[in-house]
Every structure is written in C-alpha cells, then in structure tokens.
C-alpha cells in the first residue's frame, strides 16, 4: 500500500512537471483575455495580420493570454476605433489613419506622393516615423504595431488611359489619396473601405483608388474590369491598445508585445506585397481584368500634377507647428 502511494505520488509529480515543461504555467492559462477589434471583413489583410498576431501572442505567452478577435466591425467600426479603444470598448483595435486625416498629421505624411515603393518599406518607414516623433494623438494608447498597404492604383468600371478619362470620374478613396485624385481631375468620394462594396454595386462610384489586393480580397475584380497602374500613395494603419489594460499586464507579456512590434510590421508588409501579386494574377486569369500602363509621356503629366501636394502639406503643417520638412526628409530616408 505504502509503496503504491509513493509510486502514484511520484507519477503525479512527474506528470505535473511534464505539463509545466510543455505548457508553461497551466495555473494562469488563458487568464488574460483581450478583445481585438477590426473594421474590415475577415479575409482582408488587416484581419489576416490580426489572426497572425493572435497566434504568435498565444504561443509566446504559453497560453497565458487569449486574444478574442472581432473582424468586420462587429465590435468597433472604422471611425470609432481609436476612441473606442481609449474608452475600453475593445482592448485592442486596428485603425486606418487616412480615415481621420486631421487627427494624425505626422503619420499621415506617409500618404504624400513620396515614392514609397511597396508595403514592406512603407510599413518599416511608418513605424520608424512614429517611433521618432511619438505624436501626441497616441498618448492615451499603446502602439502595438503599424503597417501600410501597397501603393495605390485606379480600379474602375470604365477604362482610364489619360487624364482626360479621369475628368469628373467618381472614385472612392480616403485621406491623402483624395487630394491626389482631385489633382488628377477626378471626383473623390470619401468613405472607409468596407462601404466601397455597396457603393460599387449601386454605382455611386465608378471605381476606387487603393492597393490591388482588394481586387481579390473584396472581389472588386467582378465589378472593376480595368486597372490603371499609378503605383502612388499608401494608407497608414496602426494597431493600438488601451493604455490602462496594457499597464495591467505582467512584464513578460508586455515584453512579448513589444518584441512583436517591428516583426509584425515587417510580416504584414511582406504578406501585403505577396497578396498584391496573387490578386493581379487572379484578376487577369479568372476575371479578365485589363491592366493599363500609362505611357512615359502620360505618366509625366500625371506626376507633374502632384508636385504641389507635398509643398502645400509642408506649408500647412509648419503653420500648425510641425517640423514638416524634417518629417518629409525622414520618410524619404527611411524608404531607402
């Protein structure tokens, strides 16, 4: 009897030790539950990166943290995201800064026509810019990562080959991209990306100006049979966390989050760039989309229309007290 109980105690301790080794601290498993809100539908890149972050966090905290994700605006929508996270309606949220241009002066400078070549470089430049200037609009939150989409192109129901074709065309965009559409003579219609699905179906807009992965992820290729390659302008995004909630986390969890910040930016930029190639192939092969390149002469005309935009931004931002020239110089340096 005695011998047997010693055996079972030993076995019990052994199993416990094995559990600890494999699962870390089972006592606290999943005790920290975080709600993560996102505004677009689950298959789109902001939500794909959210699911990747969730998996990494749960793995790296040995299950100590459980992340509950809410895609498709089910917890917070595009425009209420930042205030919702500050108020604690969600612990974490993903914002597209172009939707509130006046609120994010520094980070939205990445939406100027500065020649950001892809999402990977754009994402790293955006994060560096944020780290350097620490803009005060993020004071009440903790930034978990930032990233951008890839440069925008014009996706339309009608072919656009010249600036004359752009004249008065109703195109959906947001923030800095709207200024660019205006400069090209189009009629920009501002709305967050998820609303574009209905606007295109109803015909309220004739197309949109954004990164091409949406041709596949939102199935816009079914409506927009033409793409004019402009490769201009990105949209900056941030993932933010409620500050009190962040401060309440154990140090080892905080470290996991901070260690993921740059890695997640790089992962998302890389994923986005890859997704663009897949969307182009899918649009051509399965949806017969025509891709239009501007001739060098025509391209020069389009580019010349944008020259004043950065100059004007510098004047306006300087008047508001921002080191505008330095910000522009930094973005150009960060993308090298």
User: Where do contacts with ligand 3IO occur on this chain (CB under 6 A)?
Assistant: 40, 44-46, 96, 149, 174, 193, 210-211, 214, 235
Give the residue nearest to ligand 3IO (CB).
Answer: 210
Least distance from ligand 3IO to the Cβ atom of residue 96, Å: 4
DSSP character string of 227-295: EEEEEE---EEEEEEEHHHHHTS-HHHHHHHHHHHHHHHHHHHHHHHHHHHHHHHHHHHHH-PEEEEPP
At residue 30, what are phi and psi to the nearest 5 degrees? 65, 15
Residue 235 or 322 having the CB closest to ligand 3IO: 235
Residue 40 or 80 having the CB closest to ligand 3IO: 40
Residue 46 or 188 having the CB closest to ligand 3IO: 46
Least distance from ligand 3IO to the Cβ atom of residue 72, Å: 11
At residue 287, what are phi and psi to the nearest 5 degrees? -130, 5
Residue 112 or 253 having the CB closest to ligand 3IO: 112
Nearest to 156 by CA among 171, 168, 167: 171
Least distance from ligand 3IO to the Cβ atom of residue 216, Å: 11
Question: What beta strand segments (E) does the chain contain?
Answer: 32-37, 65-70, 92-96, 141-148, 152-156, 170-173, 187-190, 207-210, 226-232, 236-242, 290-293
Q: Around Cβ 56, how many Cβ atoms within 10 Å? A: 17
At residue 305, what are phi and psi to the nearest 5 degrees? -65, -20
Residue 35 or 275 having the CB closest to ligand 3IO: 275
Least distance from ligand 3IO to the Cβ atom of residue 60, Å: 26
Nearest to 193 by CA among 37, 40, 69: 40
Least distance from ligand 3IO to the Cβ atom of residue 44, Å: 4
Least distance from ligand 3IO to the Cβ atom of residue 106, Å: 18
Residue 82 or 249 having the CB closest to ligand 3IO: 82
Residue 218 or 246 having the CB closest to ligand 3IO: 218
Least distance from ligand 3IO to the Cβ atom of residue 206, Å: 16
Contact partners, residue 8, CB within 8 Å, separation at least 6: none
Instruction: For residue 315, give the H/E element and its range.
Output: helix 307-319
Quote the CA–CA distance of 268 and 91 in Å, as a whole number. 21
């Amino acid at each position: 009897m005695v011998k047997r109980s010693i055996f079972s105690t030993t076995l019990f301790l052994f199993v416990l030790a094995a559990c600890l080794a494999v699962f870390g601290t089972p006592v606290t498993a999943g005790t920290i539950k975080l709600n993560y809100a996102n505004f677009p539908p689950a298959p789109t890149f902001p939500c794909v990166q959210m699911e990747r972050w969730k998996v990494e966090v749960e793995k790296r905290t040995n299950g100590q943290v459980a992340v509950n994700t809410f895609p498709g605006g089910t917890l917070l929508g595009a425009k209420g995201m930042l205030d919702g996270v500050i108020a604690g309606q969600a612990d974490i949220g993903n914002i597209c800064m172009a939707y509130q241009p006046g609120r994010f002066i520094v980070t939205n400078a990445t939406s100027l026509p500065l020649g950001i070549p892809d999402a990977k470089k754009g994402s790293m430049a955006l994060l560096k810019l944020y780290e350097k200037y620490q803009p005060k609009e993020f004071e009440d939150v903790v930034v978990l990562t930032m990233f951008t989409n890839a440069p925008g192109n014009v996706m339309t129901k009608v072919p656009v080959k010249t600036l004359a074709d752009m004249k008065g065309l109703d195109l959906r965009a947001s923030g800095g991209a709207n200024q660019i559409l205006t400069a090209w003579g189009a009629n920009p219609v501002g709305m967050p990306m998820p609303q574009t699905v209905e606007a295109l179906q109803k015909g309220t807009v004739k197309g949109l100006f954004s990164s091409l992965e949406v041709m596949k992820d939102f199935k816009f290729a079914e409506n927009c049979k033409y793409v004019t390659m402009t490769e201009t302008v990105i949209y900056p995004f941030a993932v933010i966390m409620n500050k009190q909630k962040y401060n309440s986390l154990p140090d080892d969890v905080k470290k996991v989050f901070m260690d993921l910040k740059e890695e997640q930016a790089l992962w998302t930029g890389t994923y986005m760039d890859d997704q663009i190639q897949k969307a182009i192939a899918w649009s051509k092969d399965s949806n017969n989309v025509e891709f239009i390149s501007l001739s060098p002469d025509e391209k020069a005309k389009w580019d010349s229309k944008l020259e004043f935009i950065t100059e004007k931004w510098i004047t306006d931002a300087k008047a508001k007290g921002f080191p505008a020239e330095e910000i522009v110089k930094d973005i150009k340096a960060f993308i090298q």
